[in-house]
Structure 1
Amino acid sequence: MGWEHDLFALFDDLEGQASALYAAERDVELADRSRAEYQQVTLASRLMATLGTEATLGVHGIGGPVTGTVERVAEEWVLVSSGEQDWVVNLDAVRTVEGASVRSVPEVAWSPLTRLGLGSALRRIAEAGERCLVHLRDGSRHEGTLRRVGGDFCELVEGEDRRMILIAFSGLAAAQSRV
């Protein structure tokens, strides 16, 4: 057995070391890939995986949390059904989410309807002609009826004197149905 055995033992040892180094490098590479891939996950994609379940949203400008069933999700907004009230929440105003799925749904798997912007959701409210409570990011609120919706703003008719207020989407936190 002599020198051949020693030579094969040396090769086996070198092969084992090479395998261990490869596995260590592979683990680091997989961790890097995982971090890089997770960068592509958006809040909307996590909420999309939460459809049909209850979640609690902390929304900038609203005094308390919005808790309810996540009914619809789009790139710019989320519809939360809370008892007899519905909330159209501007995703840019969402600070926190509790109860979200640990999974996400990649945007390539979304329906084309989810590409509809915040304006589309507000137009639906305007078409219904129902009163709503509009929450702004600065904490103020306006109650009235949405009349028309532009590209980056909406018109709210408020009060008995029917004064019209233009609300920029960038300042809007959520629109809440009034039942």
Structure 2
Amino acid sequence: MTWEDRLFDVLDDLEQQAEALYDAERSLELADRARAAYAEVSLASRLMAATGTSVRLDVRGVGPVTGDLERVGTGWVLLRGPAQDWVLRTAALTAAHGLPERSVPEVAWPATARLAVGSALRRLADSGERCVLHLVDGSRHDGVLQRVGADFVEVAGAGRQLVLVATDQLAAVQSRDEG
């Protein structure tokens, strides 16, 4: 082996070492970028990816609610259960089970997903359907939704007595009775 061959072998070895170091640094950088990008993923975007699937959502003041995730909106979801439908405020969710690993960024959401929880509650009020309002503290109000204000809902309970419920204390609205 000539001195030129040995020199080229040394240079090839150095080049391979440099490539290995670059690949190792690049892998760390990509992992760092992936972590940073995932920090931008919201619960709502993960829920949006689960639309049309069966999920279990744990709700403060209610407990676990299972059903098909029908719709995701700004601050709420619609879950269709076997005996009732649920409008759940995402602020009251404590855990979600059965969601796919992917997410759907907000820019890819349909225009209807930008509707706030008030829109879903107004639709229930318009239907005149009896419902149960579950609050985050575990209390409940049975009745018919009457009107939806900026930060509250009116529910007509027994004897048509109106009760005002602050929206931020609302965990879920169950559109039909259990059982």
Q: Report the TM-score when normalising by structure 2.
A: 0.95
Residue 178 of structure 1 deviates from its aligned partner by 2.0
Q: What does residue 78 of structure 1 align with?
A: 77
Q: What does residue 175 of structure 1 align with?
A: 173
Residue 75 of structure 1 deviates from its aligned partner by 2.2
- Equivalent-residue separation in structure 2 for 1:133 and 1:108 (angstroms): 33
* 2:22 maps to amino acid: Y
- Equivalent-residue separation in structure 1 for 2:74 and 2:14 (angstroms): 53
Q: What does residue 4 of structure 1 align with?
A: 4
Residue 2 of structure 1 deviates from its aligned partner by 1.9
| 4+ residue segments displaced more than 2 Å | none
Residue 16 of structure 1 deviates from its aligned partner by 0.7
Secondary structure of residue in 1 paired with 2:103: coil
Structure 1 residue aligned with 2:161, among 138, 160, 163?
163
Q: Deviations over 1:59-90 (max 9, x none)?
A: 0001x310000000112100000013100000
Please, which moves more after superposition, 110-119 or 149-158? 149-158
Secondary structure of residue in 2 paired with 1:103: coil
- Equivalent-residue separation in structure 2 for 1:151 and 1:115 (angstroms): 16
**Number of equivalent positions:** 177
Q: What does residue 143 of structure 1 align with?
A: 142
- Equivalent-residue separation in structure 1 for 2:118 and 2:10 (angstroms): 70
Unaligned runs of 5+ in 1: none
Supply the RMSD in Å over aligned alpha carbons. 1.0
Unaligned runs of 5+ in 2: none
Q: Report the TM-score when normalising by structure 1.
A: 0.95
Residue 9 of structure 1 deviates from its aligned partner by 1.1
Residue 116 of structure 1 deviates from its aligned partner by 0.3
Residue 176 of structure 1 deviates from its aligned partner by 0.2
Secondary structure of residue in 1 paired with 2:86: strand
| 2:65 matches 1:66 | yes
Matches within 5 A, 1:23-102: 23-62=23-62, 64-102=63-101
Name the % identity: 56
Residue 43 of structure 1 deviates from its aligned partner by 1.0
Residue 126 of structure 1 deviates from its aligned partner by 0.5
Q: What does residue 130 of structure 2 align with?
A: 131
* 1:170 maps to amino acid: D
Residue 128 of structure 1 deviates from its aligned partner by 0.5
Secondary structure of residue in 2 paired with 1:113: helix
Secondary structure of residue in 1 paired with 2:102: coil
Q: Deviations over 1:95-133 (max 9, x none)?
A: 011111121111111001100001111011011111100
